[in-house]
């Protein structure tokens, strides 16, 4: 990296005329955008709004997913250190951004409805369905506004292409009206029209990357919720099969058995 910067600095010092082309290209781009027709300008405005919306969704989702990941790790540590379900239920709201809390709450409520939270559950299938329902609802909530990101990623290039096609039509229409069939006459109009295609790609590419990354995170959350649901059901069944021992016997039991006595 240092060598690259030094190399670039050397050429900039040796050739002072190296900087102006960048400024010239920038000014030419601004001039082409300024000279765009009403259709191309409207397309650029639409793409700008779509870009702002897509980046807002991506930043919002990354922030919420990061909080959910952090709280999920904390909730799992608290759950695995706990001795009773009631202890976790009392502090579950502290880990609310985590989708695991929804799974735990749904299973715990169903377990309480069946037999008051003691003994083997009368209907284990109902507990599994409760876990699946909670996972589905949590994922649906986390997927909110993701369809907008996918839509922007899919249609932004076509919106830009529409502006390009209309610009080329205007350029050739002006060429036919002027009657001057030269490259100098048609090149400015075509170059201005192609800006919308480039803008569409600039909007679509980050949206595609962001959508794919966020979708991968959602699949990870779904897998973690399924694993946690099975872990919680196993813990309930294992604890229910162990009869509550006397205090003296409880001290002699292994730590894992004492810990899972709910």
Give domain limits for the chain.
37-259
pLDDT digits (tens, 9 = 90+) for 147-183: 999 999 999 999 999 988 888 887 777 666 655 556 6
- How far apart CA 51 and CA 207 sit, in angstroms, is 8
Contact 260, 235 (CB under 8 A): yes
Q: What is the dihedral of CA 234, 235, 240, 243, to 10 degrees?
A: 130
Dihedral sign for Cα atoms in the order 136, 229, 102, 60: negative
Contact 125, 16 (CB under 8 A): no
Q: Report the pLDDT value the prediction gives residue 178, as an integer from 0 to 100.
A: 57
Find, among 88, 91, 133, 138, the residue nearest to 108 by Cα: 88
User: How remote is the C-alpha of 180 from its chain's centroid?
Assistant: 52
Q: Report the pLDDT value the prediction gives residue 11, as an integer from 0 to 100.
A: 35
Q: How far is CA 241 from CA 121, 130, 235, in A?
A: 10, 21, 10
Quickly count helices (H) and strands (E) in the chain: 10, 0
Has this prediction a pTM greater than 0.85? Answer: no
Per-residue pLDDT tens listing for the chain (262 residues): 334 333 343 333 444 444 444 445 556 556 666 666 778 888 989 999 999 999 999 999 999 999 999 999 999 998 888 878 878 888 888 888 899 999 998 888 888 887 776 777 788 888 889 889 999 999 999 998 999 999 999 999 999 999 888 888 877 776 666 555 566 656 666 777 788 899 999 999 999 999 999 999 999 999 999 999 888 888 887 776 654 544 444 454 445 444 444 4
pLDDT digits (tens, 9 = 90+) for 131-147: 899 999 999 999 989 99
């Amino acid at each position: 990296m240092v060598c690259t910067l030094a190399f670039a600095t050397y050429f900039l010092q040796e050739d002072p005329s190296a900087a102006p082309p960048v400024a010239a290209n920038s000014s030419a781009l601004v001039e082409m955008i300024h000279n765009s027709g009403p259709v191309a300008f409207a397309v650029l405005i639409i793409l700008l709004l779509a870009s702002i919306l897509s980046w807002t969704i991506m930043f919002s989702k990354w922030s919420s997913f990061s909080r959910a990941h952090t709280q999920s790790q904390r909730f799992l540590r608290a759950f695995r250190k706990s001795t009773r379900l009631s202890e976790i239920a009392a502090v579950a709201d502290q880990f609310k951004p985590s989708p695991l809390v929804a799974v735990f709450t749904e299973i715990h409520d169903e377990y309480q409805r069946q037999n008051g939270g003691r003994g083997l559950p009368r209907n284990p299938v109902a507990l599994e369905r409760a876990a699946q329902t909670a996972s589905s609802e949590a994922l649906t909530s986390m997927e909110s506004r993701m369809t907008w990101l996918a839509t922007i990623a899919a249609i932004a290039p076509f919106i830009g292409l529409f502006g390009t096609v209309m610009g080329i039509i205007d350029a050739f229409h002006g060429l036919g009206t002027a009657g001057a069939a030269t490259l100098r006459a048609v090149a400015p109009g075509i170059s201005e029209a192609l800006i919308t295609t480039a803008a569409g790609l600039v909007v679509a590419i980050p949206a595609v990357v962001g959508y794919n990354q966020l979708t991968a995170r959602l699949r990870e959350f779904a897998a973690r919720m399924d694993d946690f649901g099975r872990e919680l059901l196993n813990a309930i069944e294992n604890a229910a099969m162990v009869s509550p021992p006397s205090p003296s016997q409880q001290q002699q039991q292994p730590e894992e058995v004492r810990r899972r006595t709910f």
